[in-house]
A and B are shown apart, each in its own frame.
Chain A
Amino acid sequence: MPEPQSGVEVPLTPSFWDPSTPVVVCQQVSVRYGKNWALQDVTAEFHPGAVGLLGPNGAGKSTLIKTLLGFVKPDKGRMTVIGMDVAVQPLDIRARIGYMPESDAHIPGMNAVSFVAYCGQLSGLPVADAMQRAHEVLYYVGLGEARYRNVETYSTGMKQRIKLAQALVHDPDLLFLDEPTNGMDPKGRDEMLELIRDLAHNKGVNLILSSHLLPDVEFTCDRVVVMDKGSIAAAGPIEALKGPAGRVYELRIKGDNGAFTAVLRREGYECHDTDDDVMRVFVPGTLDEGPRVLFQLAAREGAQIRHLRPSVPTLEDVFARAVGEV
């Protein structure tokens, strides 16, 4: 149980918002920049927990986040964030969310602790609480030792961390993270992803992670919304989108490929040949049954299995399918 800090207790979330309902709801949202539609009839729900917002560059991910923040007014459609209408209560929403922008962003001329405390005060925290939270959050993101340094002297990785700290200082109910691992070295990237995962899974912070890096989303998020050309291409739990693991096998045999494929199909298995004499077989049932079934069939037909590997669908497959690359 966390220790309450000083001041009058207020509910963490608006009383009218049911935490089991989606944190963000978009209904037919369209945004146009000049003649180009950045978002077209976007209808999506972002459930509590960690949700990845995936899509290639120009898909409309950042525009969607900026529209939810109220930076951009949609040409049509309605959006709610933690139960509040973006068009009606933008300030109440911004008091409850944290935003980590994609590009470098800081208040010039401040050291890290002053900057983060200042952001806390801008979000409505009393001066003393903001300063206390700034120290805590800077330690949490790994900048404890560098917190009295001017932000302008920070490396790219440190700037990413301080952007996360300023988004966290007022303890938001929902975090928008726009490409949080941009420009980070592999170690820093891993640490950042661990932080994000910890926030979502252990600290109860809902977050929407916008990224084009599939491994980042796969590591940190439970659900994903895939965008392409300003529209929603796919949405749902990552595991459900990937399908049940271990049921598709890559198989190469010594012998007549065509005959064995025909046997597999006759037995009711979905089977596809690929270009390099490897066939992909879908075996319904649990993970362990596939190899046994295939070896039994091969033995019965006199075929020799030279290669057998479960083909685990990745988020990359989901993404490629969703944006029509396969």
Chain B
Amino acid sequence: MPIHDQGYRRYLGSRGAIGKSWQVITRAGIRTVLSKRSFIALMLLAWSPFVVRAVQVYVASNFQQASFLAPKAETFREFLGQQGLFVFFVTIYIGAGLIANDRRANALQVYLSKPLTRAEYVAGKLAILFFFLVSVTWLPAIMLLLVQIMFAGSLGFLRQNIFLIPAITLFSLLQVLVASMTMLALSSMSKSSRFVGVMYAGLIFFTAAMFQALRGITGRSSFAWLSPTDTLEQLGNYVFRLDPVYDLHPAVAVLTVVTLVAGSAWILERRVRGIEVVQ
């Protein structure tokens, strides 16, 4: 008789509460993404505007001659606008394969045979994208604010512009929510992450081109709702109390964002299933 059976043994240990499996998906997803060197390079690039802005704040705070560089409320709006480019790249890099790769490998039936609802699966995947998009939008913007306070040595700027904290948070969340929900919905529609990436880029560029074409033809910018990027631009200006860029009512802009997010949720509800039923 063997002193230690290396065969199958019953498990008598503890089991976690049901409803937390989405965290497992998120943790594993974040670990996988961080293990890619090319992604680390992309993140460094995404943080380079922060470094430039931090230097700007430092110079403005320490050299009288450079006081014209001192940050204003709109500096933070501009900063988040610039970060939109990195939101685009990070969304494609991480998001394209989030569900598409699982569909290619038939992993959905593995996931959904575990104590995990479809909503938890989507939440787990969404949280991966959320984490990285927040780290290129909200996190550097808030850190920039902290850098400003640090270099200025007073809370004067923050007191005068206290709305900046909710404004940065709200606009970052809008950017992240629209990008991640749209990408996740597209990712659930294909088994090829490359195709999803092309679809997302196509959606962003095509809608922007359509808006510009209509603007050129009609001379009106009220069609900005056609382009998610321009709709966010408009909302960003409202949130930061700046003059609107386009002739687009804020309610229409909000409705566009809600429609986009709700449409993405509807697609995800239809596509994330344990089996595919061909009728």
Contact = CB atoms under 8 A, between A and B. Distances in A.
A126 interface: yes
A94 B9 contact: no
Contacts of A9: 12-14
B102 A33 contact: no
Chain B interface residue number, banded: 35 or more
B275 A5 contact: no
B47 interface: no
Nearest to A121: B24
B10 interface: yes
A34 interface: yes
A278 B15 CA distance: 62
Interface residues of A, number: 57
A121 B110 CA distance: 13
B11 interface: yes
Contact of A122 (B12, B116, B279): B116
Given A106-B110, A108-B107, A122-B111, A71 B8 contact: no
Contacts of B106: 101, 103-106
B107 A7 contact: no
A12 to B, nearest CB: 7
A105 B274 CA distance: 12
B107 A203 contact: no
B8 to A, nearest CB: 5
B144 to A, nearest CB: 34
Nearest to B31: A114
B18 A109 contact: no
A8 B8 contact: no
B135 interface: no
Is the contact region of chain B dominated by helix, strand, or loop, or is it mixed?
loop
A320 interface: no
B109 A108 contact: no
A97 B10 CA distance: 13
Contact of B277 (A33, A109, A139): A33
Contact of B8 (A70, A124, A137): A137
Contact of A71 (B19, B107, B109, B117): B109
B202 interface: no
Contact of B110 (A2, A107, A129, A170): A107
B105 interface: yes
Interface string B174-201: 0000000000000000000000000000
B24 A8 contact: no
Contact of A125 (B11, B25, B117): B11
A140 interface: yes
Contacts of B204: none
B240 to A, nearest CB: 39
A119 interface: yes
Interface centre among A4, A12, A101, A137 (most CB of B within 10 A): A101
A204 interface: yes
B216 interface: no
Interface in B11-31: 11-21, 24-25, 28
Contacts of A99: 109-110, 113
A5 B91 CA distance: 41
A39 to B, nearest CB: 13
B13 A108 contact: no
Contacts of B15: 10, 95, 123-125, 170
B105 A108 contact: yes
Interface in B103-154: 104-107, 109-117
A2 B102 CA distance: 36
B218 interface: no
Given A122-B21, A136-B6, A198-B8, A69 B104 contact: no
Nearest to B19: A91
Contact of A199 (B8, B17, B20, B110): B8
B101 interface: yes
Contact of A108 (B17, B104, B114): B104
B111 A2 contact: no
Contacts of A5: 9, 11-13
A108 B21 contact: no
Contacts of A166: 110
Contacts of B24: 118, 121-122
A104 B9 CA distance: 26
A107 B102 contact: yes
B65 interface: no
A94 B28 contact: no
B160 interface: no
Contacts of A293: none
22 contacts: A66-B275, A71-B274, A72-B277, A91-B19, A101-B113, A103-B109, A104-B105, A105-B105, A106-B110, A107-B110, A108-B102, A118-B28, A121-B21, A122-B21, A124-B18, A126-B13, A136-B8, A167-B113, A168-B8, A198-B8, A199-B8, A203-B7
List 3 A-B pairs, minimum CB-CB distance, nearest first. Answer: A71-B274, A7-B14, A7-B13
Given A72-B275, A99-B113, 9 more contacts: A33-B279, A71-B112, A92-B18, A94-B116, A95-B15, A104-B105, A118-B24, A125-B16, A171-B11
